[in-house]
Structure 1
Amino acid sequence: MLDNQKYLVELAHAKMPFGKYEGKYLIDLPEYYIVWYHNKGFPKGKLGEQMALIYELKLNGLEMLLKNIRSNYKK
């Protein structure tokens, strides 16, 4: 598997590590929550990078891409 493919599989299985939505898949977070973070500033590091990509995917209506990856590829 290519690095980009591995990254997408990892992103599809990534979960929120804290807060109100702790344990929920990032792609399943409510859009308003991701938009709030976009406006406030994403956390530093890998989680912030993942959340920024989730924002872009949701903005462009591509949530099903990660949901399909999650169901077809195990972590």
Structure 2
Amino acid sequence: MQLQPDKDFLIKLAHTKMPFGKYKDRFLINLPEHYVVWYRNKGFPKGKLGEMLETVYTLKVNGLEDLIWNIKKQYPSK
């Protein structure tokens, strides 16, 4: 069984900005890696934001940020 990423989730992730804190209004994929690692060590928030930050962490650790940048180009926000 092969797991498929949720297309709608990734499109939403590509266009979601940090809603609070030092990096408020910065796209999640553009958050500094040290900040995302800090969240991982502290514990991601509950809910959709936490899921997105955890996904950003996984993408950054594996050098896959280009996937989200390409999604942003392919599916511009409305």
Q: Distance in 2 between matches of 1:37 and 1:46?
A: 14
Identity of aligned residues (%): 58
- Of structures 1 and 2, the one with the larger relative CO (CA 8 A, separation 6+) is 1
TM-score under structure 1 length normalisation: 0.92
The structure 2 residue matched to 1:37, chosen from 13, 36, 39, is 39
Aligned-partner Cα distance in 1 for 2:12–2:76 = 9
Number of residue-to-residue matches in the alignment? 73
The two structures have a TM-score, normalised by structure 2, of 0.88
The answer for unaligned runs of 5 or more in structure 1 is none
Aligned partners of 1:71 and 1:25: how far apart in 2? Answer: 14
Query: What is aligned with 1:46?
Result: 48
Give the alignment's Cα RMSD to 1 decimal: 1.2
Q: What's the counterpart of residue 18 of structure 2?
A: 16
**Which ranges in structure 2 are unaligned for 5 or more consecutive residues?**
none
SS at match of 1:64: helix
